[in-house]
Amino acid sequence: MTVTGSISVTLRKVISDRLTQFKRQGSVAGTLKTAAVALTVVDQGYGADLVGLPQYDIWSNDPALLLTRRSSRLRNHSGQWALPGGRLDDGESAEDAALRELEEEVGLSCRADQVLGLLDDFVTRSGYLITPVVVWADPNQDTVLNLDEVESIHRIPMTEFLRKDAPILESIPESNRPVLRMPVANTSIAAPTAALIFQFREVCLSGKNTRVAHFEQPVFAWH
């Protein structure tokens, strides 16, 4: 996926236009901790290191989303799937926080004009108000692990999130809301990360005004 290629130019415009037309739903923070995450579109050039996913060479034109596994050193949610992100500093916008965390966690330096738009705020069981920021990364840009925060970096082809068996909805006795998961290879990603990815798929790739705030998270993510 090269920025000068017709496929990526078209995709970027489609995503940007759909986010411009999308009437996002924000939330009032109140006592919630505010955070932002980066849903980052990257070139899928470095291979998919998950069992069950095909391997791509460095010049693959398949667009992907950048995901991480949180470091086992972290006190909260260690080892879980995540999008680069974190809490907003005082006076910081969601866009600025997402770009800062993207560089701090995985070494991607993106400019303000690479932000394509925002999706709906998502309130987590653990007390966070998350704002998802969609970012378009430059092609063939290397990532660098921040081992204090990130165990591994994964470029997941967008086609994986368009699978017919996605999303997976599960019932749990602790809630009357369905838990949402997104299958990836032979595993799955849980909400809240999965909910944000699902809305990205629906809004940015499929042109649908799908809401995800009502989806539940698995109990292990409540704390």
- Report residue 111 as tokens: 């400019």
pLDDT, residue 132, reads: 98
Q: Is 25 helix (H, G, I), strand (E, B) or coil?
A: coil
Q: Is 158 helix (H, G, I), strand (E, B) or coil?
A: helix
Q: What share of the chain is helix, strand, coil (3-state, %, to 5)?
A: 25, 30, 45
Q: Is residue 142 part of a domain?
A: yes
Q: Is 15 helix (H, G, I), strand (E, B) or coil?
A: helix
Which helix (H) or strand (E) is 99 found in, with range? helix 94-106
Sign of CA dihedral 38, 81, 183, 217: negative
Which residues does residue 134 pair with via DSSP β-bridges, in sequence order? 39, 117
Distance CA 8, CA 152 (A): 26
Distance CA 176, CA 156 (A): 31
Q: 10-residue block means of pLDDT along the chain (223 residues)?
A: 54 95 95 97 64 46 84 60 94 97 95 98 95 92 84 88 94 95 91 97 96 94 75
Q: Is residue 149 part of a domain?
A: yes
pLDDT, residue 116, reads: 98
pLDDT, residue 3, reads: 37
Q: Is the pTM of this model over 0.85?
A: yes
Looking up residue 103, the CATH number of its domain turns out to be 3.90.79.10
Distance CA 17, CA 153 (A): 28
pLDDT, residue 53, reads: 58
pLDDT, residue 122, reads: 97
Domain residue limits at 134? 6-158+196-207
pLDDT, residue 7, reads: 55
Q: Is residue 223 part of a domain?
A: no
Q: Is residue 220 part of a domain?
A: no
Q: Is residue 181 part of a domain?
A: no
pLDDT, residue 146, reads: 86
pLDDT, residue 71, reads: 64
Domains in the chain, number? 1
Q: Is residue 201 part of a domain?
A: yes
Within a 13 Å sphere around the CA of 211, how many CA atoms are in the beta-carbon half? 8
pLDDT, residue 57, reads: 38
